[in-house]
Amino acid sequence: MKYIRAGIAQINTTVGDLDGNTRKIIQFIKEAKRLKINLITFPELAITGYPPKDLLLKTKFIKENQQRLQDIVKETEGIIAIVGFVHDDGDVFNSAAVIHDRKIIGIQHKIHLPNYGVFDEKRYFKAGRETFVFETDTVVFGVSICEDIWVPGFPTENQCHAGAELIINISASPYHIGKPDFRKNMFMTRASDNIVNLIFNNLVGGQDDLVFDGNGLLIDCSGNTIAEGKLFKEDLVFSDISLEDVKRTRLRDPRAREFQQKPENFNVSKVISRGKTRISTDRKLKQLDVRENPFLVKKRVVEKDPFKEIYDALVLGVGDYVRKNGFKKVVIGLSGGIDSSITATIAVDALGAENVVGIAMPSHISSRHSLEDAQELAKNLKIKLEKIPIYEVYKSYIGTLFPVFKGTKPGITEENLQARIRGNILMAFSNKFGYLLLTTGNKSELSMGYTTLYGDMAGGFAVISDVPKTLVYELSKYRNSMSKKPQIPERCLTKEPSAELRSNQKDTDSLPDYNILDGILHLCVELDKSIEEIVALGYEEKIVKDVVIRVDRNEYKRQQAAPGIRITPKAFGSGRRIPITNKFRG
């Protein structure tokens, strides 16, 4: 039997840290050798980190990334390594270096450049036109980069027709809700349709607003997953892949007759490597257990909690943003409400309780239970809590403004003063001690502008800015279910949400019920449906019009908001570009 031991090094890179990323790649190559892996893969743009954005306009950056590749090549004796990097060949390409036994045997350029949503690759890269199959002493394989395999046909199909036994796809595929399962099903289909073994290596880690979930895959030529990388964690996963199964299956399948054609007939160039791959004859095969009779034994189905995946993405996003930007601790304003409670809980899970400080800032409007709930949360999470009342500061503000406000009725301006005082206190604490201030606003509020500019929006990172209010509750219930003692006070989950900027205030005074609002926002923001289309789905026209108008009108606030973690297919930020000055409604 002909096998190759193939591995996925799903690593957490940092954009611009060429030295650190290179050291990590070399470390994983050495570990792969120890595990007797023949072929090791790394993510898209592993040397530079992804996405490097306008760093790609700096010639020094590109040059140094290519120099680091040479450092990696020196460490590849007896092994095949696929490494993502930026290749400058007159034009700049998003590329994969194919290295065998201390020699670069080929460079595969990315062919299909995504230019939608959060992707902007045509701004920086030229699209590749040529594809290859690489023939080594152990395996014939093709390489593609991220989007290349999402597009049916070229280059994957052509590489298989030209004799590839294995397709390697290196990616930086960012997470959103539902994507891991969708992506896995797509890769299983690609493998079975093309009768080829498939490796998918995905980046893991947080990068500004993006979270990459890892979850690398090794899939056999029948579409079965034989190994799978962890979600949201660095991992080195490997398996022994049968290459004879590809040939055997293709012989049985009439569709595969054309696979026996010459590579040049499919616009594919063949590269033959003279390098040597170190093969260990004493290793035991690492594969799925195939001893069980599939007709007698039912496969165990593991039920996944749909909220665990989302929560883990938020934890990773916070942890990486804080650490990669040189912070050690964070500060959060604790109101006693559900939003600040889940934000603090995520921060503790990401950074540890000793690195999170809460500040409660009660006013003359605040209810007694708000402070009690903030104190109970801090006690449950074991975080330090500072209490700074704001009423005296508020009175001073009102007194200072009285001469110019004289003769006007108190209203939203006076309400927002409280939020802005709190924002000033939090930023002063951040400034004095060097802590990162985490904001606590959710997507529902941010969509509607139900937030105070330079008040509760003040901060450096918006943890739940892409989490609708209804999902905030579900994530809070999930997190409580994971502890022997619930971390978030029960009253935070049951009391009516309120900004507490005026007496007896409730969110529903200014907003529709969140169950209705979040449904409309999903259709309007994430699916770009018109008012007429949303109303046709059963929503009240008056409410829909009000929501859509307020979403559009508050774009100016969102463009001044702190960056936040993207968990939906369309978050506010780089993936949604609406002009501030805009008269269109609908």
Tell me whether residue 445 is annotated as binding: yes
Tell me whether residue 334 is annotated as binding: yes
Q: Is the dihedral of CA 306, 311, 312, 316 positive or negative?
A: positive
User: Are the beta carbons of 318 and 348 closer than 8 angstroms?
Assistant: no
Q: Catalytic positions, please?
A: 44, 110, 146
488-489-491 Cα angle (round to 5): 130
Q: Which residue has the tokens 């409660």?
A: 360
Tell me whether residue 399 is annotated as binding: no
User: Are the beta carbons of 49 and 16 closer than 8 angstroms?
Assistant: yes
Tell me whether residue 116 is annotated as binding: yes
Beta partners for residue 170, in sequence order: 145, 201
Q: Of 52, 54, 53, 57, whose CA–CA distance to 18 is shortest?
A: 52
Tell me whether residue 33 is annotated as binding: no
Note the Cα 505 to chain centre separation in Å: 36
Tell me whether residue 557 is annotated as binding: yes
Q: Is the dihedral of CA 20, 25, 30, 34 positive or negative?
A: positive
Q: Of 228, 230, 232, 229, whose CA–CA distance to 211 is shortest?
A: 232
Note the Cα 224 to chain centre separation in Å: 25
What is the C-alpha separation between 216 and 198, in angstroms, rounded?
11
Tell me whether residue 379 is annotated as binding: no
**If 0-12 CB within 10 Å is exposed, 13-18 middle and 19+ buried, where does residue 336 land?**
buried
Tell me whether residue 236 is annotated as binding: no
Q: Of 378, 386, 138, whose CA–CA distance to 274 is shortest?
A: 138
Tell me whether residue 136 is annotated as binding: no
**C-alpha torsion angle, residues 276, 281, 282, 283 (rounded to 10):** 70
CB contact burial 469-488 (16+ within 10 A = b; e otherwise): bbbbbebbebbbeeeeebbb
The order of strands in the sheet holding 356-360 is 384-387, 356-360, 330-333, 436-439, 461-462
What count of residues does the chain have? Answer: 586
User: Are the beta carbons of 573 and 209 closer than 8 angstroms?
Assistant: yes
310-488-427 Cα angle (round to 5): 80
User: Are the beta carbons of 566 and 466 closer than 8 angstroms?
Assistant: yes
Note the Cα 237 to chain centre separation in Å: 20
* SS3 at position 157: helix
Binding residue positions for ATP: 333-340, 440
Annotated binding site: 116, 173, 179, 333-340, 416, 440, 445, 557
Please state the residue numbers annotated as binding site for L-glutamine: 116, 173, 179
User: Binding site residues for deamido-NAD(+), as ranges?
Assistant: 416, 445, 557
